Chain A
């Protein structure tokens, strides 16, 4: 898409829900999620004039959003780890039952947030339906590494879900 056809409002309209979900994978607290969403939106606004159409728009938007999310959590990394530890609770249902429940999305997020940052990023992008080659472009990892890291992340996620089920 040519640069002059892009405007911030249309980008936000298209990617708002994805950005909210990404923010939720990085922050458990609603207030911090909204702060992160605002920071990501601001970063997209600032970055849009530099978009030259070399990559697809969604790759560009996710790349800027994740860059900002990494910046955000690197600032609050100590607080973040504390929040993860505090939110760790055991579930009464199996992972499969939990995933069928009304709070399934929140249950997923709680588990995803326990993953290391890079794996969290890969899981969220994969859930968004982004291809390996685009994930590679967004994260800077090679395509092969994306596959390896994503498999590890899925295994770890499964173990986390089982660990939390008593």
Chain B
């Protein structure tokens, strides 16, 4: 028997005998199950909050459009938001379903599946960052218009402050989201590079 075989046999023996050592300090079955159930609940809660928030946003935008918007610019702005909200929702759903189905394909290697999932994630991030920039560009002119009215107009009314603060908040919000998306994109690209480097076939 070669030296490698000797070492391998001892390792196999040690691996089998390590159960007691492994058990000490490791979480129990009950704790694992409890934590998993807690995680599932959190995921479901987040999903439902996102669904309800998206629906509420769409309903709000549609009701504003139906009740009549004061100008064509408002109609374009609100329509833009509605299209963005719907597109992000549908695209996120599509990518999630695609990733789930990729994970169940049996004749793929794991690394290929993970690369596929990461590429889907990258597409989603690119789409989301594009959507953030579009939303930013839609809200920025309105915000600048309100500032313009404040500086050059006869004075600001309550509705100007309201619209100004809302659009200002939206500009910052979409800007931060875009920055986060860029950071996430880099992370996912690094992950794809790492997984590609594992492609051992």
Q: Considering only CB atoms and an 8 Å cut-off, how many residues of chain A contact the other chain?
A: 54
Q: Is the CB of B4 within 8 A of A154?
A: yes
Number of A-B residue pairs at CB separation under 8 A: 118
The residue that B198 contacts in the complex, of A8, A17, A70, with Cβ under 8 A, is A70
Assembled-state Cα–Cα distance A74/B32 (Å)? 23
Assembled-state Cα–Cα distance A118/B195 (Å)? 11
The residue that B103 contacts in the complex, of A38, A67, A96, with Cβ under 8 A, is A67
Q: Is the CB of B15 within 8 A of A70?
A: no
Query: Is B154 engaged at the interface, CB distance under 8 Å to the other chain?
Result: no
Q: Chain A binding site: helix, strand, loop or mixed by DSSP?
A: helix
The distance from the CB of B24 to the nearest CB of chain A, in whole angstroms, is 11
The distance from the CB of B91 to the nearest CB of chain A, in whole angstroms, is 22
Q: Is the CB of A21 within 8 A of B108?
A: no
Q: Which of B8, B12, B18, B40 has the most CB of A within 10 A?
A: B18
Q: Is the CB of B194 within 8 A of A77?
A: yes
Query: Is A87 engaged at the interface, CB distance under 8 Å to the other chain?
Result: no
Encoded as 1 (CB less than 8 Å from any A CB) or 0, chain B from 168 to 193 comes to 00000000000000000001001100
Which of B109-117, B130-138, B159-167 lies at the interface?
B109-117
A positions within 8 Å CB-CB of B = 8-9, 12-13, 16-17, 20-21, 24, 30, 34, 37-38, 41-42, 45-47, 50, 54-55, 63, 66-67, 70-71, 74-75, 77-78, 95-96, 99-100, 104-105, 108, 116-118, 127-129, 138-141, 145, 149, 154-155, 157-158, 161
Q: List 21 A-B contacts (CB under 8 A).
A: A9-B33, A12-B33, A17-B23, A20-B26, A30-B25, A38-B35, A41-B35, A42-B36, A47-B103, A55-B106, A67-B113, A70-B110, A70-B195, A74-B191, A74-B195, A99-B10, A104-B10, A104-B14, A117-B198, A139-B109, A141-B200
